[in-house]
Amino acid sequence: MTKNKSDKRVALVLGGSGGIGKSVIDKLVEQDYAVAVHYSANKGKAELLVDEIINNGGEALAVGGDVADEVTMSQLFDNVISAFGGIDVVVNTAGIMKLSPLSTLNLSDFDQIQRINVRGTFVVSQQAALKLRKGGSLINFSTSVTRTSFPNYSAYVASKAAVESLTLILARELRGKDITVNTVAPGPTATPLFLSGKDEATITHLSQATPLERLGNPEDIAETVAFLAGPARWVNGQIIFTNGGLA
């Protein structure tokens, strides 16, 4: 863990210890960012990633906590600022997905999805709005299923539709602060979250659903995040469908 103020741009990646978050971390480190790797439960995995980054000459910090707890997130943001001197980019990949027909979904599962995906995004976005430096970027995450409307995704898509609306409004509320707010909406991407509970036939079908005839890779999504985090200063208040042409 670094304890020195960084001269680099600083990124905080929520859910940074695995899946798309890990690829985002790798891409931003490649582009010479100092990074804070957030975890909710897997502290060991986050710390291993941080050690790897530091051993390769980078700057990194592991930070843990419940994204839906406003006190925890406020302290987490302050800890990152204390360590690095500020925050320039917040990427919120943290989220959960549970699939079920609406008619049989357990409402406790519904409540958990909304708490993490909606309240968590709201809390993180609130902290980002208050604490990002000028020239900063907030990047939230949705899903292309808000447009494709696949069966069994009702609770998950409801949460992500809320994220999209939150993003569009916050971008306008931050007028004059030189902070961009966008959402990335991946299509079928080969991550543990996506692959969990799907049989081989379903995965094969989804891999053929795009004109590129493959699943996305976490690296594909990280490329879009890196663009929004850095050079894309004229992209603001947008939902970026990173899905290989999925209709």
Residues designated as active site: 156
Rounded CA-CA distance 167/162 in Å is 9
Burial (CB count <10 Å: 0-12, 13-18, 19+), residue 112:
middle
Nearest to residue 142, comparing CAs of 184, 110, 170?
A: 184
Rounded CA-CA distance 163/143 in Å is 10
Contacts of 164 (CB under 8 A, 6+ apart): 142, 146, 183, 185, 239
